[in-house]
Amino acid sequence: MKLALTVLIMLPLVFGLAPADDRHIAKPGIPFDGNNIGGEANAPYGPPTVSNSPGEVVGSSYYAYQTNGSTGNRISLDGSGGIHISWTKGTASGGRPRYVYYNFKDEITGEWLGETAISSENGTGFVTQDLMAGGEAMPVYHFADAPVSYSAIAIDLFRGFGIFEEFAIPNFGIEWIWPYGVRNTTDGKIHVICADFNSNPSNYGYTFSSDDGQTWNRYTQIFATGSGPGIGSLSGTIATSPVSAKTAITYTLDNEYGFYDVLYFETEDGETWNWGDPYNITQFGPNSDMSAWTDLDCLYDYNDNLHIAYQGQAVTGDTMWIWGDVMHWSEATGHTVAGTHPSSDTCSTINYCTCMSKMSLGVNPDNGNLYMVWADLSQNDVSAGGFSNGELFASASADNGATWFQQVNLTNSPSPGCAPPNCDSDVWSSLAEKVDGNLHIMYVDDDDAGAEWVPQGSWTNNNVLYLSVDEGELLPLGVDEQIDLPFEFDLSQNYPNPFNANTVINVSGDFETATLAIYDITGRMVNNFAVDNDHRTITWDGTDTAGQPVASGAYFYSVNVDGFGTASVKKMTLLK
């Protein structure tokens, strides 16, 4: 099988170059184009003089690389509106010293605390975080140098102080690294998942604390990666519900066909896990046109429903490609496409990233809108060193993930042909779970594209950024002003969809008159129809108000109820 073969060929190369804690396995990167590994490690460069990457600079790091697989939560919005960010910070070129750092934005003054060390231990890194009951940051990270690796948690003294007390999570004989931690707000329990550093196949473990991180249960081994080193060990993510004790652990695992499935465990009560029996949501088989890979995110919305984001790498035959879709799954919607990277753009990947990686999910509790943010790599934006410069993308769903609006480039900072330190490679995106009218995002503007320690490119002192994005920028006209009607109302999904000649839309509800409007993806209205008691079923024939046929593609339709406002928006596709 081509996939397995390529993995085997690449293993010695990648392992030979990797520092101990950053042990790596091959990326899919098939076909291998010679650009995927390479780039000389040059002399380090200082801070850039010009950057077009948007946002507020919250810190810096020579160690741009924030994670091998799933990005995890490195930014949180607390109940008062404060922003907490943590990241892995290399304070010099060469990979060490390396620490975990923190910064906080006060919602009243708008001022940042200033970057501050979470741990004084040289060799810490790969941080994820959540918040304690009072909004105190709760970073979880690992120490990965001799004599023994372990995972640790730190808890801030007060909200936004940056004065942390650290607790090592006991190893019980296994060196657990790459921790992802969450705290449940209903029972206060802290849940942590980690990978086993030393065994192959790699085991994956779960532990929890019921006393704010002071004492920990013995790790439970929840899965082992299959034959060969474990992609699954890089993929594990965890989410806990904002409204119940429900908690889920998601991961990918290779299957008998050589591709990767998305699996999850879930506890309803925060205690009872059925470790032997994960849900497999993909079950990719020999005829599948898609495979998962290293990156996932999971999230509970405020109706207590689990959402999972995964990379849907394109598959033809037994070959997995580095492009494809970013996918969303929930039990109610099944699998939906949140964003796409076309097969015509092969990209020059950086370590473990495919053309679209580091997906994060967020939800707005007030309007229920769901968001996904990810990093995209393109062959049209490649550094002088031969690696694609990243751009952050996002898409939005106003119907719990059933349909997604047009993906939007959030950073718009191409730097093709850049030499260090003039690249604006925007990667390592993480989105705060809670969206409050704005998406709160942290990322790194890598001044020389590539994971420098592999080595890819050179060591540069890179900015860590905070980016706030108005959710209206991701929604077609009117969606951000969507209102809840004080009566029954329903806008149907058009049928058929996609459609060619005609499609039918039903509008029901206790209203007198309304307007159904159809918009193209730029937000331009192309047609509209009156909806009243005699006209509740609208047939659209794919023409504009002048009767001219419109182009193939995605369209949105919304209903504006007279006297109330825009009540619902849905998406449809016209194929000619």
Q: How far apart are CA 104 and CA 125, in angstroms?
A: 18
By beta carbon distance, the residue nearest Ca ion is 413
Span interacting with Ca ion, options 41-49, 467-475, 551-559, 564-572, rule CB under 5 A: 41-49
Asked whether position 457 contacts Ca ion by CB under 5 A, the answer is yes
Site for Ca ion in 346-385 (CB under 5 A): 360
Among 121, 136, 452, 471, binds Ca ion (CB under 5 A): 452
Among 378, 413, 494, 568, binds Ca ion (CB under 5 A): 413
Asked whether position 73 contacts Ca ion by CB under 5 A, the answer is yes
Asked whether position 64 contacts Ca ion by CB under 5 A, the answer is yes
Among 130, 448, 471, 520, binds Ca ion (CB under 5 A): 448
Shortest CB 385 distance to Ca ion, Å: 9
Asked whether position 439 contacts Ca ion by CB under 5 A, the answer is no
DSSP secondary structure string, 21-53? GG--------S--SSSS-------B---S----
Asked whether position 296 contacts Ca ion by CB under 5 A, the answer is no
Site for Ca ion in 10-29 (CB under 5 A): none
Q: Is the dihedral of CA 346, 348, 353, 356 positive or negative?
A: negative
Q: How many C-beta atoms surround the C-beta of residue 275 within 10 A?
A: 12
**Any idea what DSSP says for residue 350?**
-
Asked whether position 391 contacts Ca ion by CB under 5 A, the answer is yes
Q: How far apart are CA 453 and CA 283, in angstroms?
A: 35
Give whichever of 68 and 255 is closer to Ca ion, judged by the CB atom. 68
DSSP secondary structure string, 473-526? GGS-TTGGG----SS-EEEPPPBSSSBSS-EEEEEEES-S-EEEEEEETTS-EE
Asked whether position 130 contacts Ca ion by CB under 5 A, the answer is no
Asked whether position 447 contacts Ca ion by CB under 5 A, the answer is yes
All residues at 6 or more sequence positions from 501 whose CB lies less than 8 Å from its CB, including other chains: 541, 542
Span interacting with Ca ion, options 26-34, 281-289, 367-375, 390-398, rule CB under 5 A: 390-398
Q: How far apart are CA 157 and CA 178, in angstroms?
A: 24
Asked whether position 445 contacts Ca ion by CB under 5 A, the answer is yes
Site string for Ca ion, 418-437 (x = CB under 5 A): ------x-x-----------
Give whichever of 79 and 549 is closer to Ca ion, judged by the CB atom. 79
Tokens representing 162? 């940056």
Tokens representing 455? 């080595």
Q: How far apart are CA 428 and CA 433, in angstroms?
A: 16
Site for Ca ion in 178-197 (CB under 5 A): none
Q: How many C-beta atoms surround the C-beta of residue 112 within 10 A?
A: 18
Residues that bind Ca ion in the complex, under the rule CB under 5 A? 48, 51, 64, 73, 297, 360, 389, 391, 413, 424, 426, 445-448, 450, 452, 457
